[in-house]
Amino acid sequence: MDERMGESLSALMDDEANELELERVLAQVSQDPELRRAWIRYNVAQQAVQGSQIARLDWDISERVKSSLEVSSATAREPTGIGFKQRMLRPFVSLAVAASVAATVVIGGQQLALIGSDDPYNYGRSVATNASPVGMLNSLGATTVQASYGMQAVPILEPATSKAYQELALQRHRKYMQEHAEQAALNAPQGLIPFARVPQIQE
Amino acid sequence: MTSLFSVSKKLFRYLLLAVFSVSTSAGANAASCPDDDAVALSWLDKMSRSLRQANYHGVVTLQRDGDMQVMQVSHIVGDGSSSERLVELTGRGAQVERLSHPLDCIHPGDRLLRGEVLLPEKSCGIATHYRFAVTPGERVAGREVVRIVIEPRDIYRFGYVVDLDEETGIMLKAQTIGHGHKTLETMQFANIVYSDNLPEFSQADVIHTAQHLDPQSASAQYPVTRAWSIGWLPLGFAATDPSTGTSERRTYTDGFAVFSVFLEELNVEVRAGEGLVKRGGTTSYTRGMRIDDQPVLVTVIGEVPVNTARMVADSLDWLP
């Protein structure tokens, strides 16, 4: 684990990781089991120093995540001989591919702009407001991809995964926030106010 | 200056690890019953009960990410139940209401605030996980307040500064404090009137009736086909309802923070990855991964740091 990776991990622990740092961790995780172990050690160490109880840490997900990455990235690199209809039925792979295009198109401007931003509380919002050239998420979680993008073989870039997952996280935030607020309103000391955090309250 | 800070931060991390390597067992045994603040705990108990006892209406603001939302709220008690209403005065103007909530229906969050120990782990209740300090506060919405500073004892939850009405115990202001003492979100009453005569509320196009989920029953909108479990939770978090087995959601609270975990089974392969959305004190973390041979999408949403969400997502597993 190099110094920059250590800093990214550190930022994650401090809840201060920006998108680039998350990307860095993601890009390294498949090649660096030490990274996962270090992350778990950081958690335990910080708790120990703060004098709090040690949470149960008898699991180690590094191998599972590593094998998961190997299998899924191999699948993602398969030649695309499937039809458009089938592609439509494979939302998440399509999403990653579509976002690869998006990342390729915008990498000159948007990605560079993010390099200058170290505010961890802003980057989620910038994802939400940046126009995607393949803006295609609907409210149900299915993804439609324009044929001209979907049929092309595109390079697999790490930023593509990151970008696709940012979109996905935003979509799931919208989908699940109200159900979470139902629970928070019954279990946090603020009455119905957790509903104010729901992006769009539905009947 | 920045690089100096970064170097010192890194050094600190490595020192942490060095300390850890010789002190793990000491740390594990260190915490017994911490020095709880009886005055603070009694105020929290009062706060929890007040929310079910007082008649009031007022205007509340929620500030986060440089944005301010304004809403009108009311709370009326009568005939053994309470009724609440919230109407957004900014944004879409939606209304949320919860009518006839039985006063004797106490949810796990309130039980924790009232000092109950819900978990089998060795615990002194919420004082195990937060450090409390009571200080005089400044007026909020024209009312005298008592300020309680609530500092987390570990890295898995945020801190809070809450101002309670000195007379009624109603929470008039709450700031969510993240790492580095950053204020992530501030909720506060701009005005409050204690009365059961409600003013006319703004008309809303969207009216949502808040679910009253019985703590003893579970719901499942989109059940998954296999029973699953969460292998790791921050200490002190109790389930808000008995959602187990194949329910797609689990929710946990420690009395202040609440987070929910949603699991989706995917019928397609997914490239492993993660995405994050932050809105004020709310973290929404989505992770695509495989559990055994099954691709899944896990989303953790709640008022917890991203590291907590990530740790929880990592620990999901199928039940045998």
DSSP E strand boundaries for chain A: none
> Can you tell me the ipTM of this complex?
0.84
Residues of A in contact with B266 (CB under 8 A): 92
pLDDT at site B217: 52
Q: What is the pLDDT of residue A189?
A: 81
pTM: 0.67
Report the alpha-carbon distance of residue B229 to residue B227 in Å, rounded: 7
Predicted local distance difference test score (pLDDT) of residue B143: 96
Set out the domains of chain B in order of their start, with CATH numbers.
2-209 (2.50.20.10), 215-318 (3.30.200.100)
Contact (CB<8Å) B240/A48: no
Per-residue pLDDT at B268:
83
**Interval B42-100: pLDDT, tens:** 899 899 888 778 999 999 999 999 999 999 999 999 888 888 999 999 888 899 998 87
A138 or B113: whose pLDDT is higher? B113
Q: Taking residues B188-193, report their average pLDDT.
A: 95
Q: Among residues 121-180 of chain A, which lie with CB inside 8 Å of chain B?
A: 121-122, 124-125, 127-128, 161-162, 164-170, 172-173, 176-180
Asked if the Cβ–Cβ distance from B62 to A161 is below 8 Å, we say no
pLDDT for the residue B30 = 36
Cβ atoms within 10 Å, residue A74: 10
Strand partners, B17: none
**Could you say which residues from 161 to 190 on chain B have a Cβ atom under 8 Å away from some Cβ of chain A?**
162, 171, 174, 178-180, 182, 184, 187
- Closest-CA residue of A relative to B91 is A200
pLDDT at A19 (0 to 100): 59
What CA–CA distance (Å, rounded) separates B214 from B166?
31
pLDDT digits (tens, 9 = 90+) for B239-261: 888 766 778 899 999 999 999 99
Mutation target for A interface from B284, B287, B292, B315: give the one with most A CBs within 10 A. Answer: B284
Would you state the pLDDT for residue A79?
41
CA distance B286 to B313: 8
> Are the beta carbons of A136 and A97 closer than 8 angstroms?
no
Q: What are phi and psi of B297, to 5 degrees?
A: -120, 125
C-alpha Rg value of chain B to the nearest Å: 21
Using an 8 Å Cβ cutoff, are B275 and B297 in contact? no
Residue B103, pLDDT score? 80
Which of these ranges, A77-81, B141-145, B153-157, has the smallest mean pLDDT? A77-81
- Bridge partners (DSSP) of residue B316 are B230
Better-scored residue on pLDDT, A148 or B317: B317
- How many other CB atoms are found less than 10 A from the CB of residue B270? 26
Mean of all residue pLDDT scores within chain A? 54
**Lowest model confidence (mean pLDDT) among A194-198, B13-17, B48-52, B224-228:** B13-17
**Cβ atoms of A137 and A157 closer than 8 Å:** no
Phi-psi region of B141 (alpha: psi -120 to 50; beta: other; left: phi over 0): left
A26, B273: Cβ pair inside 8 Å?
yes
The pLDDT of residue A198 is: 93
